Structure 1
């Protein structure tokens, strides 16, 4: 199925999103009846286009959707929202705008925290959770936060580095890293900074035990920021959750190891369908 893009109004923000299927008139919501609705929520300072490999992979069987959060990519706004709670409320409103009652929510990094918050405070909107390279409390040092603040004030240039990638990716697939840098410049550094502030304040370590949704937790074996230990912690807290660690991947598994990443998602989504059949 071809990937399409549209705008919709969410809480006064012109919100850009990607989906798979036929085009529709500006005021007509696309058809999301194919397979499972899977909403992809990007990480700090990122945008919905980072999910293009997943939109293409799942568009034939399912209804994948990826939005640009406020101030990110092509969505309206000059700064990010203040808290992860605010972002979760925004995502719930986005589902309202698209007339979607519930969906599988796949969140990456900050998007994973947003997904967990949705599972806690907007549980009826969540069919299942896929938590990608995330943590219930992020390990963000004051030095890193201050470095991002310096960029917003013009005291330092944007940083283009390989920190989030596996050594294998750096050595064998540098085009993926260049692609990541191109995605990075689509969002103002001030938004990345406010996102990191939001991430620094969230702490879901105790509350996620209340989540009662099928959950898959994905992590890269070489991720130094949101580590395999973080994934195992989440899986240990959420009843019935499973963790999968993907080899030779860092923090950007959707780009670094899309085949393995997509296969894990497909297997999990199929298990949801299988479970629903067995419960009839």
Structure 2
């Protein structure tokens, strides 16, 4: 898999159409959540690549993008996504983010409106005191005990009633492959995150929530949705789905993103 230099970091990525998006199609860039990787999106990408260019990225410190002991912040991740687009000569893109990536895409939509054609937030995290406590505790845990405690707990605690044993195994593998120091740094980035200026988001906006999501509450998702200023926005709730939407309900999520992307003006 190739790497791209984005600002000061070397990021692993994949690109379905390296020569550019198909005619009348968009470029879509995907940002994963905590403890995940670009592979999280592979259940949904087949719904998109016939018409659109799909770029997936392992964020700094996650999966195959090496952690080099730099501090991490949500605005910094957003700036690096712009760096990826710059390096690949993409002037504008639809941005898709899950969980932590949801923080990033709302940041992109509010601060980099000239580069964003549309925003898809999947189980986006809204900053709260509880989130600060949870993330700081996780950071401490993995630095002491490695990724095993997360890999043994999250695949079972964070999914919905529809999830299968195979889906849980996939989530466990994503978590097991993380660098504990990189994971801890990303935990601290989430803990220190401030809510984006949701009202500044005017691009077409899609929020996908899980009915049984305990990590990104419906209350937080509704708050984000209600405060986005876009004249074209929609909220979709997936029945029986927890926090790992693209793994638990890949076909549904893929169909929703495809419908959204097909409706966004070039």
Please, what TM-score do these two structures have when normalized by structure 2?
A: 0.90
Structure 1's consecutive aligned runs of 4 or more residues displaced over 6 angstroms after TM superposition are: none
- Contact residue 17 and residue 67 of structure 1 kept, 8 A: yes
Give the structure, 1 or 2, with the largest relative contact order (CA under 8 Å, sep 6 or more).
Answer: 2
The aligned runs of 1:29-68 (5 Å cut-off) are 30-34=18-22, 35-68=25-58
- Contact residue 3 and residue 11 of structure 2 kept, 8 A: yes
Partner Cα separation in structure 2 for residue 179 and residue 99 of structure 1: 33
Does residue 94 of the first structure (1) align with residue 84 of the second (2)?
A: yes
- Contact residue 135 and residue 190 of structure 2 kept, 8 A: no
The structure-2 alpha-carbon separation of the partners of 1:155 and 1:69, relative to structure 1 and needing over 3 Å to count, comes to closer
The aligned runs of 1:56-135 (5 Å cut-off) are 56-79=46-69, 81-135=71-125
Residue 58 (structure 1) shift: 1.3
The structure-2 alpha-carbon separation of the partners of 1:219 and 1:156, relative to structure 1 and needing over 3 Å to count, comes to closer
- 1:47-106 CA-to-partner distances (Å, cap 9, x unmatched) read 111111122321122101100111212123245742101111111111101101110000
Residue of structure 1 in register with 2:194 after alignment: 203
- Contact residue 47 and residue 258 of structure 2 kept, 8 A: no
Does residue 163 of the first structure (1) align with residue 157 of the second (2)?
A: yes
SS in 1 for 2:2: strand
- Contact residue 166 and residue 250 of structure 1 kept, 8 A: yes
Residue of structure 2 in register with 1:142 after alignment: 133
* RMSD of aligned residue pairs (Cα, Å): 1.9
Partner Cα separation in structure 2 for residue 249 and residue 154 of structure 1: 29
Residue 112 (structure 1) shift: 0.8
**Aligned residue pair count:** 258
Residue 8 (structure 1) shift: 1.7
Residue of structure 2 in register with 1:257 after alignment: 249
Partner Cα separation in structure 2 for residue 143 and residue 232 of structure 1: 21
Partner Cα separation in structure 2 for residue 44 and residue 155 of structure 1: 15
Partner Cα separation in structure 1 for residue 85 and residue 157 of structure 2: 33
Residue of structure 2 in register with 1:188 after alignment: 179
The structure-2 alpha-carbon separation of the partners of 1:141 and 1:82, relative to structure 1 and needing over 3 Å to count, comes to closer
- Contact residue 35 and residue 174 of structure 2 kept, 8 A: no
Of structures 1 and 2, the larger Rg is shown by 1
Residue of structure 2 in register with 1:24 after alignment: none
- Contact residue 78 and residue 108 of structure 2 kept, 8 A: yes
User: Unaligned stretches of 5+ in structure 1?
Assistant: 22-29
- Contact residue 110 and residue 200 of structure 2 kept, 8 A: yes
SS in 1 for 2:219: helix
- Contact residue 112 and residue 135 of structure 1 kept, 8 A: yes
